[in-house]
């Protein structure tokens, strides 16, 4: 098997609950190159979060393995930082302290206090949240919280950044802003990123490849689509771009023709 | 303490726009009418607010005193009217810092002795209660093993522990402290355990991604996340402690407000009892407010997400 930066090999996941076993994922295999931006798209409940949690090490796979740089992933760690769906900032800490908690833990030995301070501010500036550093999560908007969540994840200098529907709860305008911010960060830092979304445009705009999941139960990877659009990408210019439209159509076809979400399938 | 506070209440569900804990919000709720323009325009409004909150209890108090005065005015009445309480007990009202022989001390010293016992027993209960609550909240096995026992023990009335602790400690002072301890600990344990069990999975995931160790998790995530619950337990606990100390002191004797009341009864000084009751009520009220205030200060950020 070819060596990838991040490799998922025949990952299966089933949940056991009270004697009944639910198959969630079957035979998920995927290789991700360093610096690649991957989107995972699929109907809700198909197991996207479960897959991301397996990569993060938060959930153990029932069978199969995840390799990162040749090493088996078996526990969560800051090299696979997660931007959670609902920001998950600690409400009793300020914006600065939320990032500081991560920086203090990850760079305890390698950065001095002053360097840590600069690094926290640097990451807050990266998402344009330096101005709100002394606010608590309860005092800022949903979009700002999500920015801080991204800053916290970036501040860990992760090998892979995992984003679970990071913009799902935001209005269209804020969402577009944050998408641009993430694209810019990806261009600047060259991180490997895996993002879950159910937004077709978001997937095409941001990704190098789009992983399309079939419906659950026992979801698998249905198709992987290459998005051969040069970067930097501009959402307005892309609106009429042939490749963009073709990719968009391919994803839409997959989701709404071949794997239509059947209401109340269970 | 009102009935509503006695339940191990969940902290208000976190919502984005409701931020009852911020200073601004508190000031706003203090002035529910439309905000006035200048500070001069606000002054009469503030006075009115003050009047609205102070006047009703003052009126109620005056009416109650008047009714009491009338009801007990006959010379054969079993209880003294307020006017007679004032004259008969003027000595202990006027000189709370009086120092005499043995248990013959001013009200301040009596209250102080009781407060000291409560402080020791309650602090021990807080520490042990939080520790046991964390254990119960963290471990399924501790929960299964200990919870049924705790649920039975917590229904034992405080005073029922006194003979047993007198037998064990052979002395009144540690026995009274033990009664406080055993009274206050249950709500602390139960609420802390509920708080720890209710730590959102998200926070636990953050901790796991950051690889926080046990100490870091305890200090940075668990305590702050469970703080609103813990303070609910601490507040119920302090109220129960104060209830128990008066009763316990009646039995163990020595300096303390409980024995003072018992002593006054034995000497038929009904007026002194009434003065003591007022002291007990006021101190209990302030104890409750103190813990509530501490809770508000410490959990300021927690209730808003
Ligand atoms: N801890 C769990 N125990 C049992 N079933 C679970 C658990 N977590 C997720 N599931 C089930 O796995 C399926 C996939 O969930 P999830 O990964 O959250 O979907 P998605 O993120 O794609 O919406 C769902 O049917 C869900 O009910
Ligand atoms: Mg999900």
CA of A17 to the centre of ligand 2 (A): 19
Which homologous superfamily does the CATH classification assign to the domain defined by A6-81+158-258?
A: P-loop containing nucleotide triphosphate hydrolases (3.40.50.300)
pLDDT at B24: 38
Of chain B, the percentage scoring pLDDT greater than 90 comes to 63
pLDDT at B16: 37
Give the count of domains, chain B: 1
In this structure, is residue B16 part of a structural domain? no
Interval B268-302: pLDDT, tens = 899 999 999 999 999 999 999 999 999 998 887 56
pLDDT over 50 (residue B31)? no
> pLDDT-based confidence at B51, cuts 50/70/90?
confident
pLDDT mean over B89-102: 87
Domain range spanning residue B126? Answer: 94-298
Ligand nearest to the CA of A40: 1
pLDDT at B94: 86
What's the pTM value of the predicted model, to 2 decimals?
Answer: 0.80
Q: Which residues of B touch A (CB under 8 A)?
A: 14, 16, 19, 22, 200, 202-203, 205-206, 208-212, 216, 220-221, 224-225, 227, 299-305
pLDDT over 60 (residue B140)? yes
pLDDT < 50 regions, chain A: 264-266
Contacts by residues B289-296 (CB-CB < 8 Å, ≥ 24 positions apart): B290/B238, B291/B231, B291/B234, B291/B235, B291/B238, B292/B231, B292/B235, B294/B231, B295/B227, B295/B228, B295/B231, B295/B232, B295/B234, B295/B235, B296/B21
CATH of the domain at B282: 1.10.3720.10
pLDDT at B50: 87
Contacts by residues B268-273 (CB-CB < 8 Å, ≥ 24 positions apart): B269/B88, B269/B89, B270/B79, B270/B80, B271/B80, B271/B84, B271/B85, B271/B88, B271/B89, B272/B88, B272/B89, B272/B92
In this structure, is residue B233 part of a structural domain? yes
pLDDT over 80 (residue B3)? no
Interval B200-234: pLDDT, tens = 999 999 999 999 999 999 999 999 999 999 999 99
pLDDT at B302: 60
Helices (H) and strands (E) in chain A, counts: 8, 10
Task: Delimit the domains of chain A by residue range.
Answer: 6-81+158-258
Q: What is the DSSP secondary-structure string of B231-252?
A: HHHHHHHHHHHHHHHHHHHHHH
In this structure, is residue B187 part of a structural domain? yes
A164 forms beta bridges with A196
Q: Atom 3 of ligand 1 has which residue's CA nearest to it?
A: A15
In this structure, is residue B181 part of a structural domain? yes
pLDDT over 60 (residue B34)? no
Interval A62-97: pLDDT, tens = 999 999 998 999 999 999 999 998 889 999 999 999
pLDDT at B254: 87
Interval A204-222: pLDDT, tens = 999 999 999 998 788 999 9
Residue positions counted in chain A: 266
pLDDT over 80 (residue B29)? no
Lowest mean pLDDT, pick from B18-32, B98-112, B152-166: B18-32
> pLDDT-based confidence at B160, cuts 50/70/90?
very high
pLDDT at A221: 93
Contact B19 A139 (CB under 8 A): yes
Write out residues with Cβ below 6 Å of ligand 1: A 15, 17, 22, 24, 42, 44-50, 216
Beta-sheet strands, E only, within A177-254 = 192-197, 209-213, 221-226
ipTM of the complex: 0.89
pLDDT at B20: 38
Interval A145-168: pLDDT, tens = 999 999 999 999 999 999 999 988
Regarding beta strands A20-32 and A63-68, do their DSSP bridges make them parallel or antiparallel, or are they unpaired?
unpaired
- Tell me how close the Cα of A238 comes to any Cα of chain B, in angstroms: 35
Is there a cis peptide before residue B262, judged by omega within 30 degrees of 0? no
Q: Rounded to the nearest 10 degrees, how much is the dihedral formed by the CA atoms of B119, B124, B129, B132?
A: 170
């Amino acid at each position: 098997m070819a060596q990838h930066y991040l490799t998922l090999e025949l990952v299966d996941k089933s949940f056991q609950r009270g004697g009944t076993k639910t198959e969630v994922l079957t035979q998920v295999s995927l290789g991700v190159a360093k610096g690649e931006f991957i989107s995972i798209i699929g109907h809700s409940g198909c197991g996207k979060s479960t897959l991301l949690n397996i990569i993060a090490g938060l959930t153990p796979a029932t069978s199969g393995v995840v390799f990162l740089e040749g090493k088996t992933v078996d526990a969560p760690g800051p090299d696979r930082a997660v931007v959670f769906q609902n920001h998950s900032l600690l409400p009793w800490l300020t914006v600065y302290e939320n990032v500081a908690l991560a920086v203090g833990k990850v760079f305890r030995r390698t950065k001095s206090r002053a360097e840590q301070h600069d690094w926290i501010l640097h990451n807050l500036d990266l998402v344009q949240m330096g101005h709100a550093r002394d606010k608590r999560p309860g005092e800022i908007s949903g979009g700002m919280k999500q920015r801080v969540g991204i800053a916290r994840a970036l501040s860990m200098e992760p090998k892979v950044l995992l984003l679970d529907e990071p913009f799902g709860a935001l209005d269209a305008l804020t969402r577009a802003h944050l998408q641009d911010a993430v694209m810019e960060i990806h261009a600047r830092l060259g991180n490997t990123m895996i993002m879950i979304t159910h937004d077709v445009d978001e997937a095409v705009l941001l990704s190098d490849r789009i992983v399309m999941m079939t419906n659950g139960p026992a979801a698998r990877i249905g198709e992987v689509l290459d998005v051969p659009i040069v970067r930097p990408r501009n959402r307005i210019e892309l609106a009429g771009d042939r490749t963009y439209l073709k990719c968009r159509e391919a994803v839409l076809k997959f989701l709404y023709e071949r794997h239509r979400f059947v209401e109340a399938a269970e | 303490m009102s009935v509503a506070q006695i339940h191990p209440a969940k902290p208000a569900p976190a919502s984005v726009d409701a931020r009852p804990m911020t200073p601004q919000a508190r000031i706003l709720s203090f002035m529910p009418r439309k905000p006035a323009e200048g500070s001069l325009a606000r002054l009469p409004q503030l006075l009115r607010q003050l009047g609205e909150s102070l006047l009703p209890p003052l009126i109620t108090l005056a009416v109650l005193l008047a009714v009491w005065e009338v009801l007990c005015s006959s010379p054969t009445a079993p209880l003294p009217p307020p006017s007679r309480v004032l004259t008969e007990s003027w000595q202990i009202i006027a000189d709370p810092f009086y120092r005499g022989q043995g248990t013959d001390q001013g009200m301040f010293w009596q209250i102080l002795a009781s407060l000291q016992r409560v402080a020791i027993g309650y602090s021990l209960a807080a520490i042990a209660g939080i520790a046991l609550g964390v254990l119960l909240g963290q471990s399924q096995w501790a929960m299964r093993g200990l919870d049924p026992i705790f649920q039975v023990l917590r229904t034992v009335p405080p005073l029922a522990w006194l003979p047993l602790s007198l037998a064990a400690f052979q002395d009144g002072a540690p026995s009274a402290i033990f009664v406080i301890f055993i009274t206050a600990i249950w709500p602390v344990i139960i609420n802390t355990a509920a708080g720890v069990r209710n730590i959102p999975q998200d926070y636990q995931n953050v901790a796991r991604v950051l690889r926080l160790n046990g100490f870091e998790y305890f200090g940075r995530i668990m305590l702050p996340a469970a703080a609103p619950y813990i303070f609910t337990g601490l507040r119920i606990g302090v109220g129960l402690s104060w209830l128990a100390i008066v009763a316990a002191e009646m039995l163990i004797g020595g300096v303390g407000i409980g024995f003072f009341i018992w002593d006054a009864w034995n000497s038929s000084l009904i007026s002194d009892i009434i003065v003591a009751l007022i002291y007990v009520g006021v101190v209990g009220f302030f104890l409750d407010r103190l813990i509530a205030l501490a809770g508000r200060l410490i959990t300021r950020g927690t209730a808003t997400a």
